Structure 1
Amino acid sequence: MPNLSNPHDQSLSSTTAIAAQPSYVVLPRVSELAGKQYHTVLEFLIEHFKQIDASVWLQRIEAGKVHWQNGELITADSIYQATARVYYYREVLAETKVPFAEQVLYQDNDTIVVYKPHFLPVTPGGNYVNECLVHRLRIATQIDTVAPAHRLDKDTAGVMLMTLNPQTRHAYHQLFLDDKITKDYQAIATLTPQLLAQLADNTVILPVHWTVKNRIVAANPSFTMQVVEGEANSHSEISLVAVKDGFGLFELSPITGKTHQLRVHMQSLGMPILHDRFYPVLQPKGPDNFDKPLQLLAKRLRFTDPISGISQDFQCQGLNF
């Protein structure tokens, strides 16, 4: 990408946050438009991003915040060019500041392993444009090619593998696709009365282990998941390893990698993770309560580096229990 004028230099409301890194959309071919026609890029943007008012796109274009891949600014009259990339800068009216810091655990030429705190998203999304792990690391390392090798929910803290070199990035993605990486989690949850009674009379002793296999699909709303009848597509190994004041400390190993898998599997055991705002009941949308983080932690990551061949084992401090 060529050097462009900083979009932050424009005259903006103090309550507006603009992404430091541009997003882009590829203009579809005519055959992909289902009979629709666009004469200008502006027409396409207005139709494609229906949630953004037309006047906002016009203001962004007039402010020089929309451009082609070569850096040339797009105007209100720029002609639609199928397959071309249009770059723009995401904006939110008031970006939430996450008051917790990430920590770099390891770095080499290809990767950076980092502890991600609770509440911090990995990539931009929703009300977050710059308050995300990728942007923070790009600033800290001065490396613009930082990218995640896998997912970790905004509400979950823990160890994450990030890639630095676009030429080797695929090799690290492949580790996850081929199940050649081991992830170990911790969680805290309220124990069921039945389990507490069994522990009290010693009919059950620690550690208590569950193998959970079931079918997880999208629920309503679609960002939540649910267990349904059918062939299992998810698998977790879960152990209760300590008990205190009615709460349990669990060790969890996701064998598969479905969205919210561990959260849904803990709910299926009747012990949803402490401070989970999605399960068992979706809580009303509202600001994050920084005093009550989801008690789920990606504590350990183990793999053989596909480039160096070195066995890697990274851990962070466990949950406070």
Structure 2
Amino acid sequence: MNPAEFIPPMMHGVSASKVFLKPSPASIQTVFDYLCAQFGHIDQSEWRQRFQDGLIYDAFGQKLNVNSAFHANSHVFYYRFLPHEIHVPFEHTILFENTDLMVIDKPHFLTMSPTGQYVQETLLVRLKNQTGIEQLTPIHRLDRETAGIVLFSKRPETRGAYQQMFAERKVQKTYHAIAPYALDMQFPQTVCLNMDKGEPFYTMKVYDGQPNSETEIHVLEHDAQWAKYLLKPHTGKQHQLRVHLAHLGLPIKNDPLYPNVAHKADHDFTAPLQLLAKHIEFKDPVTLQPMQFSSVQELKF
């Protein structure tokens, strides 16, 4: 079989990763040696378990074992599974589907794609398991803590058209958030800030300089303590809505990052971040039809 003909099948919603075996020191005698050296952040016992479970293939589709010889300038495939994942006890909803597009209502606490400590407990892998569609890919992203509308591409042939739609800001997104009510603050208002990476590295920070982020903010309803805000981001910076409200002194309810980092235990699913991607509108670049979708979820004080 020509190596190019072997396409590893999807397994439990997970697609195989491909690794090119670069020329290496003489001490690298086996594929196991190479993978352990190349991915030092993964424990050797985990690689050993993957070989034992038949999750490592060569370019011809043959399963490898820990003693399989290393051959430079070839490639291998491996599947990523975690021995222990914390179950996320919330479900997604498929709101719409056609040949090219899938529209999902994502729950809080569900990570979009495999990363770190989550593989099976991610929206992408759950959807692949549910639908059997290996080519599913998120067109844009929501934070793990954020719930609401997110779009997935079903076909590589049209994926670029949807991605370009976002890149050209031809998508109108509306969010809802619960945050403190400020009696002395005027709304609606537009917040423009210069945002860049902060410390820790996964946070964002406001700096002096030319604004690179913009959000329109309205009050939908309120009581003496809390308000439900309608947020229209005109740019798409990481954590933009969370940073903008925190900058106003109105941090989103239950935010673990802003204004201060205060992580919860991974298995603590109480007090979700009160941020919801409520509505999305766009002209479908394939069908040329106007599209709009709203989350069935609602935030309450």
Where 1:214 maps in the other structure, the secondary structure is strand
Aligned to 1:16: none
Partner SS, residue 165 of structure 2: helix
Q: SS in structure 2 opposite 1:266?
A: helix
Aligned to 2:64: 74
Partner of 1:186: 176
Distance in structure 2 (CA, Å) of the matches to 1:28 and 1:229: 46
SS in 2 for 1:245: coil
Q: State whether residues 66 and 89 of structure 1, in contact with CA within 8 Å, keep that contact through their aligned partners in structure 2.
A: no
Provide the secondary structure at the position in 1 that maps to 2:156: coil
| Match in the other structure for 1:237 | 216
Name 2:194's counterpart in structure 1: 215
Q: Does 1:120 align with 2:110?
A: yes
Pair 213,48 (structure 1): closer, same or farther in 2 beyond 3 Å? farther
Distance 2:49 2:83 in 1: 14
AA of the residue aligned to 1:87: Y
* 183 and 69 in structure 1: CA distance in 2 versus 1, 3 angstrom threshold: farther
Q: Does 1:320 align with 2:300?
A: yes
* 1:91 counterpart SS class: coil
- What's the offset of the Cα at 1:249? 0.9
The question of 1:277 aligning with 2:256 is answered: yes
Scaled by the length of structure 2, the TM-score of the pair is: 0.88
Q: Name the aligned partner's letter for residue 176 of structure 1.
A: F
Task: Return 5+ residue gaps in structure 2 as ranges.
Answer: 1-6
Q: Are 1:26 and 2:26 an aligned pair?
A: no
Shift of 1:63: 3.0
In structure 1, what is the Cα distance between the partners aligned to 2:205 and 2:71? 41
CA distance in 1, matches of 2:272, 2:262: 14
Give the RMSD, CA atoms, in angstroms: 2.5
- Corresponding position of 1:137: 127
Q: Percent identity?
A: 36
Specify whether residues 82 and 281 from structure 1 end up closer, same or farther in structure 2 by C-alpha distance, changes over 3 A only: farther
Cα offset for 1:80?
4.2
CA deviation string 1:220-263 (max 9, x = no partner):
22111111223322221122232113111111111111111111
Distance 2:14 2:42 in 1: 19
Paired residues of 2:13 and 2:129 also in contact (CA < 8 A): no
TM-score w.r.t. the length of structure 1 is 0.83
Kept after mapping to 2: 8 A contact 1:20/1:89: no
Asked whether the equivalents of residues 184 and 251 of structure 1 are also in contact (C-alpha less than 8 Å), the reply is yes
Amino acid in structure 2 at the alignment position of 1:24: S
Match of 2:99 in 1: 109
- Correspondences of 1:277-316 after superposition (within 5 Å): 277-316=256-295
Letter in 1 for 2:19: V
Alpha carbons of 1:103 and 1:56: their partners in 2 closer, same or farther (altered >3 Å)? closer
Matching residue of 1:15: none
Contact 1:101 1:117 in 2 (8 A): yes
Q: Secondary structure of 1:167's match?
A: helix
Structure 1: unaligned runs, 5 residues or longer? 7-18
> 1:264 corresponds to which residue?
243
1:114-139 deviation per Cα after TM superposition (whole angstroms, max 9, x unaligned):
10011111111222211111122223
Quick one: which amino acid aligns to residue 172 of structure 2?
Answer: T
Aligned equivalents of 2:65, 2:240: Cα separation in 1: 45
- Report how far residue 40 of structure 1 moved: 4.0
